[in-house]
Structure 1
């Protein structure tokens, strides 16, 4: 039987969706991005500015919003299966599985151009605990993304198109702090820019803009007005549209993200890690009513959304021992995947299907969302 690596279980997403984080993705996320770029379902602009913003948005929820799902075929579950429910559940002690502050707004915009407001948030703890906040204009791909790299060494310089090494382009200080461009507005009114500054000792932030029209001088003024108004050090937890009960204790939260309108999508993603590359990913996307028709090919991969092979709580679902994708749950499609030791722990309480059955989807009304989404 064909097999796939655990990290390839859920490998690509609906082309125009995202949840925040940063450029330095692991190899699996790079493959995810490649799959998005080649997705036939939607045309995706490939300019450097949009690529960078999409990378930032994607890493925060590596499994949010699938458009091409790679799955193992050795599932033992066949089309036409009846509803699958765990039989014996042994919830973990609450004190042993306490996950708080998964997504906190530690930086915020003070001023934004007309038509922009914050609509994407993410945290990536894999590198420098980077927090990302994005404002994408509805119905367009234009907007800005702020990355608070937190305390640590200066981030690496990004490469320019064609693999050209980046360089520091002199810039006026931001609120008296050392700053430079890594990609500056040019004399022709280039709509993409990236401004980086050291807002506190050993603490770095950068502001990326894409698709914002104006002359070089106008875009420079805009970038500085936004950057100088940024507030750092926030502690506000960000509410999410789900509550999951029974995530095993002792895991390391690695990424969390909420897309609340950027690229005209609503999606959320959480990921957890245990030593030895054991991964748990939980994600949702606001449903568009689509039910997948994809089936495994000879290599065991499914292109597109998977065709249901069972039901969970009355909802059409695709289920394998490591992965579930459930359609139309209180306004969202839900996916959960797990590998290795984390999967072994979940199997004591009904597996990934059991975790789905302990997941409450809170709907699209933000007033019902929770700042304590896990356990």
Structure 2
């Protein structure tokens, strides 16, 4: 599956957000120097319900000012993100900051940091055999370097603090915490890269679900039958959801919210009075040969303190047209603020 952000950043004519390399990605593709994560900019208008008889199209939208569309059908989706582990006691000043799920291949990641600085990532994978050891930074073959005992299980250092590879990835430790289930702890902060500290953090991890993660938004009228391919919730708050259309003709749908930024990658319209970017409209990016009816990205900036992006390709985008397209989907999103007590564990529906 092509990455939705990469595909739609081409349509937008702007670079997609820089994504950090999680531990599972390092296993699949080899380690890279960690880069800061910035979610795609976009903003959501809160409080507009899905069950309306017509969706008013904002000024500047190619849908036109007089188009009337059918109410969106309501599809039921279960909880999207149920983390199977959590960090226990962390060093002073550090806290768990992110939970993430990816479906291909299936893995979960929980991350911790100090303020907005990432420091740790714990990735959980299911495999009947031990997952391959990623290459060391620079392309050298990775291997076990040292063993460790973690709550009755044998663990293996794949990067020892101060050893080969630690100049880019300060430390990395893996263990099979139950049959065919593996944990990979990657340390990205040199301040924590001491063997005793890493082992203490690993031994403090608790396994087993504490329930589904809550999201700071709710959206109605998402097309039915899509398969969740990625879900992420982080402090800020920021959150994203990716859904894929199984089988032919395929396609994807994504929703992202992040705290509003003063730096706006590109603006070419307004939506409900807010600066916005619509990839179907003229913009200063390169000319693309992709049919705009097959891929679209809509970013709306600075609504209730958030930027929100809705984006889609292929089948999901075509199915949305009957209920107002991406603009209609945008109007069916409700922002739930920055108080986790108000968030929902079922953001889709």
TM-score, normalization by structure 2: 0.77
User: What CA distance in whole angstroms lies between the structure 2 residues aligned with 1:7 and 1:343?
Assistant: 17
After TM superposition, give the deviation of residue 151 of structure 1 in Å.
5.0
After TM superposition, give the deviation of residue 10 of structure 1 in Å.
2.6
Deviations 1:181-204 (A, max 9, x none): 111112699681000000000100
Q: Which runs of 5+ in 2 are unaligned?
A: 43-58, 281-292
User: What CA distance in whole angstroms lies between the structure 1 residues aligned with 2:80 and 2:300?
Assistant: 24
Structure 1 residues 1-375: aligned runs within 5 Å = 8-10=7-9, 12-15=15-18, 22-23=24-25, 50-51=34-35, 64-66=39-41, 81=60, 87-92=68-73, 94=74, 97-127=75-105, 129-138=106-115, 140-141=117-118, 143-150=119-126, 152-186=128-162, 192-213=170-191, 219-261=194-236, 266-274=237-245, 275-276=247-248, 277-290=250-263, 292=264, 305-309=265-269, 311-319=270-278, 320=280, 322-375=296-349
More contact order relative to length (CA 8 Å, sep ≥ 6)? 2
Deviations 1:16-68 (A, max 9, x none): x76977316999xx9xxxxxxxxxxxxxxxx95635xx6xx78xxxxx3249x
Relative to structure 1, the CA distance from residue 342 to residue 82 in structure 2 (aligned partners, 3 Å threshold; closer, same or farther) is closer
Relative to structure 1, the CA distance from residue 139 to residue 212 in structure 2 (aligned partners, 3 Å threshold; closer, same or farther) is same
Relative to structure 1, the CA distance from residue 325 to residue 178 in structure 2 (aligned partners, 3 Å threshold; closer, same or farther) is same
Kept in 1: contact 2:129–2:180 (CA 8 A):
yes
Per the alignment, in what secondary structure is the counterpart of residue 306 of structure 1? coil
User: What CA distance in whole angstroms lies between the structure 2 residues aligned with 1:160 and 1:187?
Assistant: 11
Deviations 1:347-372 (A, max 9, x none): 12111111101111122233322111
Give the alignment's Cα RMSD to 1 decimal: 3.1
Q: Which runs of 5+ in 1 are unaligned?
A: 31-46, 59-63, 68-79, 293-304
User: What CA distance in whole angstroms lies between the structure 1 residues aligned with 2:146 and 2:262?
Assistant: 50
Deviations 1:215-263 (A, max 9, x none): x7xx1111111111111111421111110101111111000001215xx
TM-score, normalization by structure 1: 0.72
User: What CA distance in whole angstroms lies between the structure 2 residues aligned with 1:281 and 1:223?
Assistant: 35
Relative to structure 1, the CA distance from residue 240 to residue 230 in structure 2 (aligned partners, 3 Å threshold; closer, same or farther) is same
Equivalences, count: 305
